[in-house]
Structure 1
Amino acid sequence: MAELKPGGPLSSAGLRLVQELPYSRPATPGYHTQVRVGWIGLGAMGYLMARNLANHRATHVEPHRPLLVWNRTRQKGEKLLHELGGGKVAIAQAVVDVATTCDIVFTSLSSDDVIRSVYEEIAAAFQAQPPATRKILVDTSTIYPRLAGEIDALVSAIPHCSFVTAPIFGPPAMAENATLIIALSGDYRSKKEVAFTVVPAIGRRVIDLGGNIEKAPTFKLIGNSLILGSLELIAEAYTMAEKSGIGQDVVYTYIKEMFPAPLWLSYGDKMLHDKFDGTEGFSIDGGVKDATHIRRLSSELNSPMPAIDTAHHHLLTARALHAAQERTGTTSFPVLDWSALIAGTRVAAGLDAFESGKQSGPVPESESE
């Protein structure tokens, strides 16, 4: 961390630090180095974040205590332990063991129902034996804002406990490189501790959404609507390019020249080359869940989002087509990536769903000569 001289001008490093962490250091820095940190949920994103956090704390926190992890399938924890070693990671026997043992507990889980179940289990353990020291529970998942309020009410009723919502922005590649963006809402002091725990360990900066616990999850859905809307737009442009004989590869060249944003480049490449393996990206089930949350929020706020309505339709179409392939044993992917929503636009235009080479539109002139 850069040191700022009292009363002096901010250096470039100091300005960057202020932008990355909109907080002063925690009031008791010693506490920050002594805490035990735990992680619940080692999915596609959770695994990478937990790995980066464990590595960072082993290098920068003294005295160091291993990251305590738990996952529903123990194999994920054992894989992380094998990768990093017992000096950096320890495996908990039960989810409540992470909560009772650690001071700061992160959760990264797949669905609202799973998240509700885990927090109810933790709360029951705390109610049976109230913690004597401070506990900060931090959820990094994409959840419906109202659920965040329910969890906050459950957790904050327990002495010494606070809840922070910290949804993350970025694909697995950003998680791999610890360049995620983290939105925070909740108790100010707790957010300080969380911010200095996650930056730069798992992300490059945090965005403070204030004390209303539902603001960060709301912001996360808004952010995901931009991603999902972009996927839909790329899918529609690619499909028209194929039908017109221009070719989606030409559109991708245009994207690289005019819109060279990481998101457009990554998902444009996936659609161009039919890279729809959801085990290496964001699963279509997660996309359907997020689209459903966004549409529900837009309905409650009377704020129409027709692009998301269309994207949701195409996600369902792609998932249904994949399910049909599974029944006949002809699928190429165990799980679809949400970029496979292009299957919906392709089928509507009379093209093959998952293999762009099987197009039936006009033949480019270069191929007809």
Structure 2
Amino acid sequence: MEPSACFRPVSMLRNVPWGLICGQGRSRAPFSARAWYQMLLKEGDSGKPLADGSGGVSLLGPARPLSRQALIKLLEASVVHRDGALVAISKPPGLSVAGKPDDMTLVSLLPDLSQKLGLSQDVQVIKAPGKESSGLVLLSDCQSTIRQFQEFYAKCNKARRPVATYCAVTTRVPADSEGEIRTGLKLIRKEDSELVVPVASPSRGSLQRREVKDTRTHYKVLDSQDQCALVQLQPLTAFPCQLLVHLTLILSPALGDHVHSSRVGTVLGEPFLLPPESTPPRTQVLDEALLCKLGLKQLQVHRLPLHLHLHQLLLPTATSSASSTVLTAPPPPFFLQTLSLLGLRLATEETRQRHPEPLPRPGKTRACPRKVGTVA
């Protein structure tokens, strides 16, 4: 396919230390990740930041939702890269990409945001993380660029080549330092909401009828201290809440997961899975040692944002449909502050490879257990 006139090659972001600069756009001042989150907290009236070594960064999210104008201002300041028809922003946690017509979503904000960014009203979301996750969002108002990206991601998906790399802080250390999680996932109706639950051995019929989807995620423990870990996740399939559910299956829920973490119970310090159908979502319960390290009380945990960040995306280049480059956005300050408090280290870009490849396939994959227990 010939390069489009409205598509220009996306160069690799300049390598910079994590937590200092999130990215650099054309004709824009460099975007400060710290200023981005301070704006979020100020507009949301989050209260005083944590004391004692917090560095002025609060681990808690805003106490109330941001207004429409505040969100547009925040997203305008969140541009991390701009090259031709492609714009990348770093989405804050808690903002859904799409939803009901009356919901405050990224899609509902696009008309005003596109005007602020000098884009046409035809701007579309190419790639984005889930509502509670933070990280990279790709936008474009050029149909040729959008098609080229969609075709590239479709080819990667067919070849089982991961295009997204997430980092997560988990409340436990996975038993294996590296591996693949594979299980069926399906949506069930629970009261007034939908929940994603694993299906250990889906039938061929349920897969063909698309009632269940076979899902896969590569994971690798980047660092661990005591009972916490920094985990890299590369999904090979796409399903709502896939990464969060997969983390519970290896008994290592993400910090700030107030929906699925309750599925991991503990008896005498040993974790085990609870049936998701009988385990309703609730505020995550953290042990005293972890609360102490974070400087939090359990009553504050409901405002702890999800520590799951989309920080790298593969992008196609205009010169070749087979070649690619990597776009990176460091985690927000609350994420980095958590790493500091827990003694976890995230390597700088200088130590990372230019092209993320699939993690080596271990001899054994982890799947959803056939039988899980309950607490008496």
TM over 0.5: no
Instruction: Indicate the structure (1 or 2) with the bigger Cα radius of gyration.
Output: 1
Structure with more of its chain in helix, by fraction? 1
- Normalised to the residue count of structure 1, the TM-score between the two structures is 0.28
The structure that is strand-richer by fraction is 2
Compute the TM-score of the two structures, normalised by the length of structure 2.
0.28
